[in-house]
Amino acid sequence: MIKISIVGASGYSGIYLLYALASRPDVFISAITSQTYSGKKLSEVFPVFSKSGFLKRNYVSELKFELFDRDKISESSDAVFFCLPHNESSKLVPGILNKNGKIKIIDIGADFRFDEIETYEEYYGKHSAAELNSKFLYGLADIFADKIKNSQFISNPGCYPTGALLPILPLVINGAVDFSIPIIIDSLSGISGRGRSVKPDNMFCEVENSVKAYNVWSHRHLPEIKEKVENAHLNSGGRQENSTPYIIFTPHVIPVSRGILTTIYLKLNKGVTEEIVSEVYEKFYGGSPFVSIRGNAEDCNLKNVLYSNNCHIAFKADKKQNKEMLKVISAIDNLGKGASLQAVQNMNLMLGLEPDSGIPEYSPFP
C-alpha cells in the first residue's frame, strides 16, 4: 500500500490529484491539508466525494482537511505531493526531510523547476531552499522517464511548458530545428489555469465571450520553456553560429474551464522533411501510453483530451511557400497532463510502476 499526503489539497490541482488517487486500491491517503478548510470533511466541502457520489471508498469521504503537520506527514507517508503557490513548498520540504530522509517529494508548484536559482529568483522571488534545488529532477514524464525512475525528488512542469515542450524537445534533441529565427509559441488556456482564488479577472462576467492575451513578454513559464529548450539544444551538440534558441511565448485565456491548445511555429534545418519529423516523434512517443501523434491538425482539440493525461500532437510543413517552416499543434488538459495526472505518472515511475497505472481515463465527448 502506497501512503500518500497531499499538501494544499483544496485547490484545483490538489483536488484533481485527490480524485485521481482516491479510487486506487494500492493507495491510502494519509493526510490532506488546507488552511481555508481545516477541520472540515472532504465530503462537506466537495460533495462529489460523498459516499453517495461516484467514489465508493468510504474512508475517503470521511477524510478531514488539516493544517500542515510536519511530524504526522513525515511519519505516515511514503510520498508527499505539494500543490501550493510558488515559494511555499520550499519552506516546508526541508522540515519533512529532516524527519524522514527517504520520503519521496513531488512538487506541482514552481519552486524546483529551474536548474538555475538565479532564474527562479528573477521571476518568483527569493528561494527558500536553494540547497535542495539540484536534487530535484524536472518531471516532464514522457521525455525524462528513464531519469525519473527511482528518483526521490520531482518537480512537476508547468501546464504551458508541458503543452509546448512535449512537441518541441524531440525535434531539438534530434537537431532538427533551425534557430536562426525564433520559435513562436501561442497557447490558449482555460480559466482554471489561473487557480481557484477569487480574482476579478477570473470572474464569469469577465471571461465569458472574450479571449485575451496576457503577460505577453513576462509570463513566468517563458523562462521555464527557454531553459529546457536551451538545455536540450546544448545536450544535442548544438553549437553552430546563430544557434541560441530564442523563444517568443504568448499565453491567452479563453472562456472554457480547462484545457490548453498550443500552436508552435518553427523553422526546420535544411534537409529535415515532414517524414523525418514523423520518424523523430515515432522514436520518442511510439510506445507512450499518453502522447499521440495525429495525422490531422484538426484532431488536436481540447474535447479529445479533457479529463485525461493525454497529449495530442499534429504537425504540418508549409508546402507552398517554405517547406522548412513547420507548424506544430498540441492539446492537453491543463489540470490533467499539465498538473495532477502528470504528477501521478511521475509517482508511478518513481515507485517502479507502469506509467499509466491507476490514471483515470475519461472523455466527456461529445
Among 159, 205, 300, 311, the active-site one is: 159
Question: Does residue 228 sit in the same domain as residue 272?
Answer: yes
104 in a structural domain: yes
The string of pLDDT tens digits covering residues 207-247 is 788 899 999 999 999 999 999 999 998 887 665 545 778 99
Residue 318 has a pLDDT of 86
Average pLDDT, rounded, for the chain: 91
**Is residue 118 assigned to a domain?**
yes
Average pLDDT over residues 277-305: 93
CA distance 182 to 166: 18
Pick the closest to residue 77 from 4, 133, 166 (CA basis): 4
Is residue 219 domain-shared with residue 324, that is, in the same domain?
yes
> What does pTM read for this prediction?
0.94
pLDDT of residue 237: 67
In a domain, residue 359? The reply is no
* Residue 149 in domain: no
| Residues 6+ positions from 103 with CB-CB distance below 8 Å | 74, 77, 78, 79, 80, 96, 97, 152
Say which residue the cell 484532431 belongs to.
299
Q: Are residues 178 and 245 in the same domain?
A: yes
Indicate whether 219 and 122 sit together in one domain. Answer: no
Range in 5-19, 46-60, 311-325, 327-341 with the lowest mean pLDDT: 46-60
Q: What is the CATH number of the domain that holds 297?
A: 3.30.360.10
In degrees rounded to 5, what are phi and psi of residue 300?
Answer: -80, 85
> Is the pLDDT score of 52 beyond 60?
no
Residue 70 pLDDT greater than 90, yes or no: yes
Question: Could you tell me the pLDDT band of residue 83, with boundaries at 50, 70 and 90?
Answer: very high
The reply to whether 311 falls in a domain is yes
Higher pLDDT, 5 or 61: 5
Residues of the domain holding 11: 2-135
Measured CA to CA, the distance from residue 165 to residue 187 in angstroms comes to 12
Residue at 170 is within a domain: yes
Say yes or no to pLDDT of 203 above 80.
Answer: no
pLDDT reported for residue 71: 95
85 and 172 assigned to the same domain: no
Q: Are residues 228 and 271 in the same domain?
A: yes
The answer as to whether 153 is a domain residue is no
Q: Are residues 181 and 312 in the same domain?
A: yes
- 91: domain CATH number? 3.40.50.720
159 part of the active site: yes
pLDDT of amino acid 76: 95
Does one domain contain both 314 and 169? yes
- In terms of domains, do 176 and 112 share one? no
Residue 354 resides in a domain: no
**Residue 90 predicted with pLDDT over 80:** yes
Residues 80 and 219 in one domain: no
